[in-house]
Amino acid sequence: MDTAKIDAVGSPGPTAEEVCRQLERILASEEFLSPDRGRRFLQFIVDETLAGRSEFLKAFTIANQVFGREVSFDAQNDPVVRIEAGRIRRALERYYLISGQDDEVTITIPKGRYVPHFEYSRCPQTLVLPAPEPEVPENIQPVSPDQPKPTPRPGQMQLRAFLALGTVLAIGAASFYAFHAQPLPVSQAPLPEMSAGETSQPRVVIESFEDGGSADAASDFAHGLRSEVIGQLTKFADILVIADPSKSNQQNPVGYALQGNVQFDGDRIRSVARLVRQSDGVVIWANNYDADLRVRNKLDIQADVAAQIAGAVAQPYGAMFQTDADTIARQSQTGGSDVYACTLAYYSYRRSMNSQSHNTALGCLKRVTERFPESATSWALLSLTYLDEMRFRYKLGTVSAAKPLDLAASAADRAVTLAPNDARALQSVMLVSFFKDDIAKALQAGAAAYAANPNDTEVAGEYGLRLAMSGKWQSGCELISNTVNKNAGPKGYYEVGMALCALMRDDLQAAELWSRMSDLQYNPMHHLVLLSILGTAGKMADAKQEEIWLNANAPELMRNIRREVSIRLQRPEDQERFFKGLRASGLVVDTASAE
């Protein structure tokens, strides 16, 4: 199969032989950061496409052939193929930005599909005559992906990188062509201009990772690990990542330096990372990561260590947010309207979960969205804060359920319009859609949020909860378990999800243990979960104590049990299993609950 293929603009595309050579080049490159199964994934879909079987590239086929899943595999219940496809897209983007800028053939995987696309990065000179490159007009605008792409000319290296990222540029008039200068090295690239709303966001300077003065292998690993850490950290919209230490602002009150060291001892690797506050040099977080090259390959280790570092440093309730919360969040209590201060006010509220902290966060986010209406993060957090007036109303003391849901939906729509691929914006859409009973939309948004940043434990945990409570217990509980294992906050929040997972599989001992490990003061619904577990287990004395607590502290919940359970557990059979435990404890829940 050596005949030329036809690309999207009708020109001869790469031959099968050229595509195979390009695939070999990608898989052999250290800059293509993908684990073994991701490489098998890419090899499989390219081979199948070249063999003329692209119509069979469905999630089920890939899961069966690449991941060894059984014939019972359910793509809706198990998002593994979608998630892996997203990782490969990002790995290809990184490869073409770093090592593949001069490659003749580009391989991409269009979003929403598993069939790869092959095209020349630049057309052969026999097809395109060189021509002067006029300047780009100022009114250049992006166009729909369905519109034909202009044919790139030789020398347009940065344009090829953008094509690898899937970004399509168009020209306002047919006579103009896109032109980009040679990209600057990182050390020379100017920092992006910050908006007023970003000025207090924490800046993380990624210093060079030392190699301990050992072999070249350690130096290469240190370099690759640093690059991978930068890529992982940039997925967190709440922080600003600075790859060039010479550009850092030492006077910035919210600045950190991430330092690293790599040492080899035979086949063993030790990676050390620490986060240093620039204002006073205090080390606020540090950790070691050990790995064995006889068990895992270098790229897998780099990706895993970088993910752990990024998560520990930048995730909600992580090292930076815990350090900044006490100092910066005070701005929100005195009328401040800074994006980062309000972000911290939100996470401070989620830890304490009381009406005072809720009102503080809500007021701050309202002000900041008025001052900085283009801040997608602020709109997303405002949406979640409104939504909490419904889902945590028995803890917060709010009374109306309809208006907060409408306000949350409006803010979530604004967030995802501003940043369609932002994990926090997609998280807000997921939660709003779930409580509006649009489960398909909720899970679609959750999958997209998780693919955008799997290191964000809040996204992973909330997506796991929505999967589980919509009846997809296996995949949902796996995500919840991973989140708990990473010590994700708020403390005790995801443990109640583990309790539900154990209850649904009839492991009552584990269910009670997880339930008592959850923060029972966080939400009266946690007590209701424990009551159902105790009733199912026949522990009537303990169940009575929970019932007494609920009647004293959440009487409205006790009058609306069926409604509150049904808006969380979507399947009637799951609801009935929960109600069965409540009935066994002596409660009556057979009639429809009052609003």
Domain CATH code at residue 557: 1.25.40.10
Confidence at residue 154, expressed as pLDDT on a 0 to 100 scale = 35
8 Å CB contact between 172 and 196: no
Q: Please give the torsion angle defined by the CA atoms of residues 168, 450, 376 and 194, in that order, rounded to the nearest 10 degrees.
A: -70
Position of tokens 């966080």? 522
Structural domain contains residue 10? no
Query: Same structural domain for residues 306 and 323?
Result: no
8 Å CB contact between 293 and 268: yes
Q: How much is the mean pLDDT over the chain?
A: 80
Under the banding of pLDDT at 50, 70 and 90, the label for residue 426 is very high
Under the banding of pLDDT at 50, 70 and 90, the label for residue 496 is very high
Higher confidence at residue 53 or residue 507? 507
Higher confidence at residue 213 or residue 471? 471
Structural domain contains residue 201? yes
Under the banding of pLDDT at 50, 70 and 90, the label for residue 578 is very high
Task: Tell how far CA 549 is from the center of its chain.
Answer: 37
Residue ranges of E strands in 296-410: none
Cβ neighbours of residue 369 closer than 8 Å, sequence gap 6 or more: 375, 378, 379, 382, 411
Question: Which one-letter amino acid corresponds to residue 518?
Answer: S
Query: Same structural domain for residues 490 and 422?
Result: no
Confidence at residue 41, expressed as pLDDT on a 0 to 100 scale = 92
Cβ neighbours of residue 76 closer than 8 Å, sequence gap 6 or more: 443, 472
Structural domain contains residue 57? yes
Q: Which of 260-274, 354-368, 397-411 has the lowest mean pLDDT?
A: 397-411
Under the banding of pLDDT at 50, 70 and 90, the label for residue 310 is very high
From 146, 164, 182, the end of a domain falls on 164
What are the contacts of 270-279 at 24+ separation with CB within 8 A?
271/225, 271/305, 273/229, 273/309, 275/204, 275/313, 275/319, 275/320, 277/323, 278/205, 278/248, 278/250, 278/252, 279/253, 279/255
pLDDT tens across 154-169, in order? Answer: 333 343 333 333 333 3
C-alpha 34/C-alpha 38 separation (Å) is: 6
Instruction: Kindly state the tokens that stand for 555.
Output: 């009487």
The alpha helices in 254-338, defined as continuous H runs, are 298-314, 319-328, 330-333
From 446, 470, 485, the end of a domain falls on 446
Instruction: Look at residue 346 and tell me whether its pLDDT is greater than 50.
Output: yes
Q: What are phi and psi of 564, to 5 degrees?
A: -65, -35
Confidence at residue 331, expressed as pLDDT on a 0 to 100 scale = 52
Longest dimension (CA), the chain: 86
Residue 290 pairs in a beta bridge with 270
Confidence at residue 286, expressed as pLDDT on a 0 to 100 scale = 93
Query: Same structural domain for residues 438 and 560?
Result: no
Under the banding of pLDDT at 50, 70 and 90, the label for residue 334 is low
Q: Which of 85-99, 167-181, 562-576 has the lowest mean pLDDT?
A: 167-181
Instruction: Look at residue 575 and tell me whether its pLDDT is greater than 70.
Output: yes
C-alpha 511/C-alpha 488 separation (Å) is: 19
Average pLDDT over residues 349-368: 93
Confidence at residue 237, expressed as pLDDT on a 0 to 100 scale = 84
Structural domain contains residue 80? yes
Instruction: Look at residue 55 and tell me whether its pLDDT is greater than 80.
Output: no
Q: Which of 391-405, 417-431, 454-468 has the lowest mean pLDDT?
A: 391-405
Average pLDDT over residues 102-109: 90
C-alpha 7/C-alpha 102 separation (Å) is: 19
Higher confidence at residue 179 or residue 423? 423
Query: Same structural domain for residues 114 and 49?
Result: yes
Under the banding of pLDDT at 50, 70 and 90, the label for residue 591 is low
Confidence at residue 274, expressed as pLDDT on a 0 to 100 scale = 95
Instruction: Look at residue 376 and tell me whether its pLDDT is greater than 50.
Output: yes
Query: Same structural domain for residues 126 and 216?
Result: no
Query: Same structural domain for residues 494 and 548?
Result: yes
Instruction: Look at residue 595 and tell me whether its pLDDT is greater than 70.
Output: no
Structural domain contains residue 11? no
Higher confidence at residue 588 or residue 254? 588
Confidence at residue 33, expressed as pLDDT on a 0 to 100 scale = 85
8 Å CB contact between 515 and 499: yes
117 DSSP 8-state letter: E
Query: Same structural domain for residues 478 and 503?
Result: yes
Domain enclosing residue 492, as ranges: 454-595
Average pLDDT over residues 84-97: 85
Query: Same structural domain for residues 151 and 21?
Result: yes
From 143, 164, 185, the end of a domain falls on 164
Structural domain contains residue 182? no
Query: Same structural domain for residues 232 and 366?
Result: no
Under the banding of pLDDT at 50, 70 and 90, the label for residue 126 is very low
Query: Same structural domain for residues 437 and 517?
Result: no
Query: Same structural domain for residues 126 and 200?
Result: no
Crossing angle (nearest 10°) for helices 402-418 and 423-435: 150
Confidence at residue 75, expressed as pLDDT on a 0 to 100 scale = 66
Confidence at residue 288, expressed as pLDDT on a 0 to 100 scale = 93
Rg value, the chain, Cα:
26
Question: Which one-letter amino acid corresponds to residue 75?
Answer: A
Confidence at residue 213, expressed as pLDDT on a 0 to 100 scale = 59
The pairing of beta strand 203-210 with beta strand 240-242: parallel
Structural domain contains residue 353? yes
Q: Which of 187-196, 309-318, 351-360, 371-380 has the lowest mean pLDDT?
A: 187-196
8 Å CB contact between 528 and 557: yes
Q: Which of 210-214, 545-549, 575-579 has the lowest mean pLDDT?
A: 210-214
Higher confidence at residue 147 or residue 43? 43
Domain count, the chain: 4
Query: Same structural domain for residues 273 and 259?
Result: yes
pLDDT tens across 130-157, in order? Answer: 333 333 222 323 333 333 333 333 333 3
Instruction: Kindly state the tokens that stand for 496.
Output: 């109640």
Structural domain contains residue 187? no
CATH code at 249? Answer: 3.40.50.10070
Confidence at residue 350, expressed as pLDDT on a 0 to 100 scale = 92
